Amino acid sequence: MKETLENSPPSEAKEVLEIRQKIERQELYKKIHSEIESVVVGENDRDREGNLLAPNGEKSKLPELEWKMTRTPSFLKFFGNWKEKYNKEQYDLWLKYQEKQTCEDYIKRYQEYKEGKKSESLKALENVRARDNKEEAPTWLEYNLKQIKDWENFYQKDIIRLSQKVSKLQAELINSGFNIHSTDFDYTKVLDENGEPLLLYRGTDFTPDENGKFIIPKKKINGNDFEVGVFFGNEDEAKHHHEGRKIEGKTSNLYKAFVNGRNFRIFDSKPNYWADPKDTKEWQNKYDGVWVKKSENEETRTDTGVNLFDYIAFNPDDVLIVEVE
């Protein structure tokens, strides 16, 4: 990090230094850093090439400092003891359970949309029947009847597709003997494929407050300020956004963070977060975040060639910022 500051313009280096000082004011950050020296890296924690290992024996994706941070008592207390509680089979089943929940939410919403459109068309039909113009009435009657049928088919296709997916997931969960219980929320589920806490990134012009916490940005929707959450991406996506802002002459900083997400909603593609404030309010009441995950055999890149990967933390207190560039 010293090299980064030395290569930065004086004003930019000063800004990053001030932000880093704010980050260091996080109470959890201070506790974790006071415990890092007590984390011993044993012989079994490295492979023959000297790479740090994850608990599953694979090469860790975490830099050494963050690897040690995730093993400190304060980290394990706040994020939950992922080292002891993580089990890949149970974790994968939990993800399926969350996916089933998301599908059920969508089915409910599509049914509401379908009924809403049907209600609109029925009111239109009543208006047509009440008109005195007998020549136009048949045409409008036919039009509105067709609208009811079209909207019914439009939403019903997704309802059937999602219902089939729910049935499949439910069968898999039943056959596995999986039942959701309180202990499934005992530790953060924002983990990588090795089962270690996932390091997330954010390239943004927003700076932490005096306590080193992100402030949720406000978005105008229908003339009202609306708060969604703190957005994160993978390293490639965040750097792409960060560097793009720099090229445009805008302010931007690149943050690294861990998120304590224990009950997030899962999407398999990037949703329109602000399409309907009602949607996001419902998510915030039921979940602590949103994770956009895509399977390995699906397209995972945007038009710009950047990997599609988002996590949204609804509560800034669930975010531990560990570095800024």
Report DSSP state, residue 195.
S
Q: How many CB atoms are closer than 10 A to CB 284?
A: 18
Rounded (10°) CA dihedral 181, 185, 191, 196 = -100
Which residue is it, tokens 């019914």?
Answer: 152
Q: How far is CA 239 from CA 29, 158, 200, 270, 320, in A?
A: 23, 36, 11, 18, 19
Q: What is the pLDDT of residue 306?
A: 43
**Is the same domain home to 165 and 312?**
no
**Is the same domain home to 200 and 132?**
no
Q: Is residue 317 part of a domain?
A: yes
The H or E element spanning position 116 is helix 88-130
**Is the same domain home to 194 and 292?**
yes
Report DSSP state, residue 297.
T
Q: Is residue 314 part of a domain?
A: yes
* C-alpha 148, offset from chain centre: 36
- Report the DSSP beta bridge partners of residue 220: 225
**Is the same domain home to 172 and 308?**
no
Q: Is residue 29 part of a domain?
A: yes
3-state SS of the chain: helix, strand, coil percent to 5?
50, 15, 35
Q: What is the pLDDT of residue 156?
A: 92
Packing angle of the helix pair 277-286, 88-130 (nearest 10 deg): 140
85: exposed, middle or buried (C-beta count within 10 Å: 0-12, 13-18, 19+)? middle
Which residue is it, tokens 């969508």?
Answer: 106
How many Å is the Cα radius of gyration of the chain?
25
The H or E element spanning position 223 is none
**Is the same domain home to 110 and 227?**
no
Q: What is the pLDDT of residues 91-131, one digit of tens each?
A: 889 989 988 988 898 899 889 989 988 888 888 777 767 76
Q: What is the pLDDT of residues 160-217, one digit of tens each?
A: 999 999 999 999 999 999 888 777 788 999 999 899 999 999 888 788 899 999 988 7
**Is the same domain home to 202 and 297?**
yes
| The domain boundary residue, chosen from 147, 162, 179 | 179
Q: What is the pLDDT of residue 195?
A: 93
Q: How confident is the model at residue 1 (pLDDT cuts 50, 70, 90)?
A: very low
**Is the same domain home to 137 and 192?**
no
User: Could you tell me what percent of the chain has a pLDDT over 70?
Assistant: 84
Residue 214 in contact with residue 220, Cβ under 8 Å?
no
Q: State the total domains in the chain.
A: 2
Q: How confident is the model at residue 60 (pLDDT cuts 50, 70, 90)?
A: very high
Enumerate residues 6+ apart whose C-beta is below 8 A from 28: 74, 75, 78, 320
Question: 39 or 277, which is more confident?
Answer: 39
Q: Is residue 48 part of a domain?
A: no
Confidence check: pLDDT of 268 > 80: no
Q: Determine the average pLDDT of the residues in 62-78.
A: 96
**Is the same domain home to 138 and 31?**
no
**Pairing between β-strand 289-292 and β-strand 264-267 as defined by DSSP bridges:** parallel
| Separation CA 127–CA 121 (nearest Å) | 10
Q: Is residue 49 part of a domain?
A: no
**Is the same domain home to 18 and 167?**
no
Q: What is the pLDDT of residue 309?
A: 62
Residue 170 in contact with residue 206, Cβ under 8 Å?
no
Q: Is residue 32 part of a domain?
A: yes
Packing angle of the helix pair 137-176, 88-130 (nearest 10 deg): 160
Q: Which ranges of 137-255 does DSSP label H, i.e. alpha helix?
A: 137-176, 235-247
Q: How many CB atoms are closer than 10 A to CB 157?
A: 11
Q: Which domain holds residue 26?
A: 2-38+60-84+187-324
Q: What is the pLDDT of residue 274?
A: 59
Look up residue 310 and give its two tokens.
């988002």
Full-model pTM: 0.82
Q: What is the pLDDT of residue 205?
A: 79
C-alpha torsion sign, points 55, 60, 61, 65? positive
Q: Is 48 helix (H, G, I), strand (E, B) or coil?
A: coil
| The domain boundary residue, chosen from 149, 179, 209 | 179
Confidence check: pLDDT of 61 > 50: yes
**Is the same domain home to 129 and 14?**
no
**Is the same domain home to 146 and 271?**
no
| The domain boundary residue, chosen from 179, 208, 242 | 179
**Is the same domain home to 293 and 207?**
yes
| Separation CA 73–CA 76 (nearest Å) | 5
Q: Is 72 helix (H, G, I), strand (E, B) or coil?
A: coil
Q: Is residue 21 part of a domain?
A: yes
What are the backbone dihedrals phi and psi of residue 287, each rounded to the nearest 5 degrees, phi first?
A: -125, 165
